[in-house]
Structure 1
Amino acid sequence: MLLMEKVAMLTRQNVPFALAMIIESKGSTPRHVGKMIVYRDGTIEGTVGGGMSEHYVIEESVKAIRNGQSKIVEYKLNTHAKDGIDMICGGTLRVFIEVYTSRPELVLVGAGHLGSALAKLADYLQYPYCIVDDRVGYCTRERFLNATNLFVNEDIGVALLAVNLNERSNVVIVTKDCDDIALKTVLQYPCAYVGMVASKRKIINVFEKLKSEGVTQEQLDQIHSPIGLDIGSETTEEIAISIIGEIIKVSSENKTLRVKQVNR
């Protein structure tokens, strides 16, 4: 597989990585043209010339992935030059490190009108998403053509157990009448975001029911409800925008927190 074909495949799979590309070389350098995929763990595909300069590029690429920011790095391949690295080539090398960050992964629990609007918005933003519902007639490939997966079971909790819920999952609960079951199941996992569409009265009732079933206040505090940014949304499509907007906001805040922890 060609390197750029691999880049396209990784992008579709929503895998974070960096693409390091030589953008300028002067004098004697290991290579004048080269591209290299760098993964979060430092493994690579391709090359920008090998040797000590490539070692430094890999290190900088891993840092860039963690920070979620692209950058340009420059190296003097001369051990005797000021700020030079331990090489004897004598030339200089500039490399652009382009970071491909993962997009929010949406788990849309509920295939009704709002679930459909959220899916259409996710399609536009090219966010991967799956659909979970307890109604076979609603959760169909015809209605959700681009969903990565459809999970259907008459017990919504059982359907959710089939989803690979993890720290990258952004769960939006918009079920017909089984929000409590969906929430209780989802809260067993370390999801990036959990939101539920509900009125204030419904929130109180659902939370009290979950507390009586052993769900802790700490777990309930993770839930975004009322859901979405306060933008005065009224239509189904506007509510979908407010929800995705809140997920983007939370995702950005979590990324900033992770960067601070890494650089601490």
Structure 2
Amino acid sequence: MDRFDNSPETALRWYDEGKSAALATVVETWGSAPRRVGAQLVIGGDGRIEGSVSGGCVEGAVIVEALEAIDEKEARLLEFGVSDEDAFAVGLACGGTIRVLVEPIGSVLPEAMLRELVDARAGREPVIYEVNVETGQRALKRDAYPQRVRMDRSGFEEDGKTFVAVHNPPLRLIIVGAVHIAQALVPMARIAGYDPAIIDPRDAFASDSRFPGETILTDWPDEAVAKLGLDVRTAVVLLTHDPKLDDPALESALRAGVFYIGALGSTRTHAKRVARLTEAGFTKAQIDRIHGPIGLDIGAADPSEIAVAILAQMTAVLRGKA
């Protein structure tokens, strides 16, 4: 889903308040669409809405259909052909087709299933919502579709009737080292949808004045990452250049299933890092997960440019690009 879409939480809240609601989910779309497959719009029985399924060209029709679906207690699979002219008006290069699945809460999407989904998301547990658009069979699954979960990619299976919606926890970025690069990287990462946290036991670096409003932990790095927790939606970036600080967090990250590990330093510095980790008992396969020197090679020179290179590499790894 796009970043972290709160539509399921909103739908459940409205339902718990005694208001009817429906979830509209993009299940198929044109290549240059403003919303990805899996994006959601929640529609209240009183006409209120939150979220979106397009750049504005089909929302009105979806709302009308959703209100009718709520009244009739039925799911609807909608298909809209978007003309070149309408597509251009909402910022697209060309027209195409968008398909939207509308599911009223309670009558179609069971309240208990939605509640379980919301609880899993709150507990940072990846969960799959699977629906057969022909039979109407619905299920929540864990430890399923691992490639889709890793890629954060909802969509139809090859049978053309099983839609798989990936509900991942929000992306997190744990930065060890409250240095100049971190000051540039944190706001960039937040714009990209990450929830950042900075770890540095050095008070001169880890200060609110340097990172206003951000989560800062001044514990020793291995203790700090243990508090934060590490999972498949977490990226760990090591920026201190100091093995005493970097290595404890690095070893924790290597033992966990984080999707990205990057470590600042030259090729020589990384070779020394590899030697230390090998001596500590880590395998070559584990060590090869480290991106060091960190960031894509774009010729970055200053801290802001290095931050761009790091975020670009994180994105490439997250999306499965070499």
- Structure 2 residue aligned with 1:193: 260
- Structure 1 residue aligned with 2:172: 105
- Structure 1 residue aligned with 2:9: 6
Change (3 A) 1:172 1:55: farther
Residue 30 of structure 1: which of 50, 73, 77 is its match?
Answer: 73
- What does 1:93-172 align with in structure 2 at a 5 Å threshold? 102-147=169-214, 149-153=215-219, 155-172=220-237
RMSD over equivalenced CA pairs, Å? 4.5
Task: Find the aligned partners of 1:167 and 1:5 in 2 and give their Cα distance.
Answer: 21
What do residues 176-196 of structure 1 show as CA deviations (whole Å, max 9, x unaligned)? Answer: 413333322322212111110
Pair member with larger Rg: 1
Note the C-alpha offset of 1:214.
Answer: 1.9
Conserved in 1, the CA contact under 8 Å of 2:241 and 2:264? no
Change (3 A) 1:183 1:100: closer
What do residues 153-182 of structure 1 show as CA deviations (whole Å, max 9, x unaligned)? Answer: 2x3333333221122210000014133333
Conserved in 2, the CA contact under 8 Å of 1:160 and 1:182? yes
Percentage of pairs with the same residue: 27
Change (3 A) 1:43 1:196: same
AA matched with 1:113? H
Task: Find the aligned partners of 2:226 and 2:166 in 1 and give their Cα distance.
Answer: 33
- Structure 1 residue aligned with 2:114: 44
Change (3 A) 1:70 1:150: same
Note the C-alpha offset of 1:230.
Answer: 1.8
Task: Find the aligned partners of 2:133 and 2:287 in 1 and give their Cα distance.
Answer: 49
- What does 1:171-182 align with in structure 2 at a 5 Å threshold? 171-177=236-242, 178-182=245-249
Secondary structure of 2:294's match? coil
AA matched with 2:218? V
Conserved in 2, the CA contact under 8 Å of 1:20 and 1:98? no
Conserved in 1, the CA contact under 8 Å of 2:181 and 2:304? yes
Change (3 A) 1:70 1:223: same
Task: Find the aligned partners of 1:179 and 1:53 in 2 and give their Cα distance.
Answer: 49
Secondary structure of 2:197's match? strand
AA matched with 1:56? G
Unmatched runs of 5 consecutive residues or more in structure 1: 11-15, 46-51, 72-82, 84-96, 255-264
Residue 206 of structure 1: which of 273, 286, 290 is its match?
Answer: 273
Secondary structure of 2:228's match? coil
AA matched with 1:44? L
AA matched with 1:30? K
Task: Find the aligned partners of 1:8 and 1:138 in 2 and give their Cα distance.
Answer: 42
What do residues 119-178 of structure 1 show as CA deviations (whole Å, max 9, x unaligned)? Answer: 12123324211111121232233432343x32212x333333322112221000001413
Conserved in 2, the CA contact under 8 Å of 1:104 and 1:248? no
User: TM-score, structure 1 length as denominator?
Assistant: 0.63
Q: Looking at both structures, which has the greater relative contact order when contacts are Cα pairs under 8 Å and sequence separation is at least 6?
A: 1
Unmatched runs of 5 consecutive residues or more in structure 2: 1-5, 14-37, 44-61, 77-101, 116-131
Secondary structure of 1:162's match? helix
Task: Find the aligned partners of 1:124 and 1:188 in 2 and give their Cα distance.
Answer: 28
Residue 231 of structure 1: which of 282, 287, 298 is its match?
Answer: 298
Change (3 A) 1:54 1:133: farther
Question: Which range is displaced more, 225-234 or 101-110?
Answer: 101-110
Task: Find the aligned partners of 1:119 and 1:8 in 2 and give their Cα distance.
Answer: 31
Task: Find the aligned partners of 2:104 and 2:206 in 1 and give their Cα distance.
Answer: 42
Change (3 A) 1:59 1:210: closer
User: TM-score, structure 2 length as denominator?
Assistant: 0.53
AA matched with 1:167? V
Aligned residues: 214
Secondary structure of 1:144's match? coil
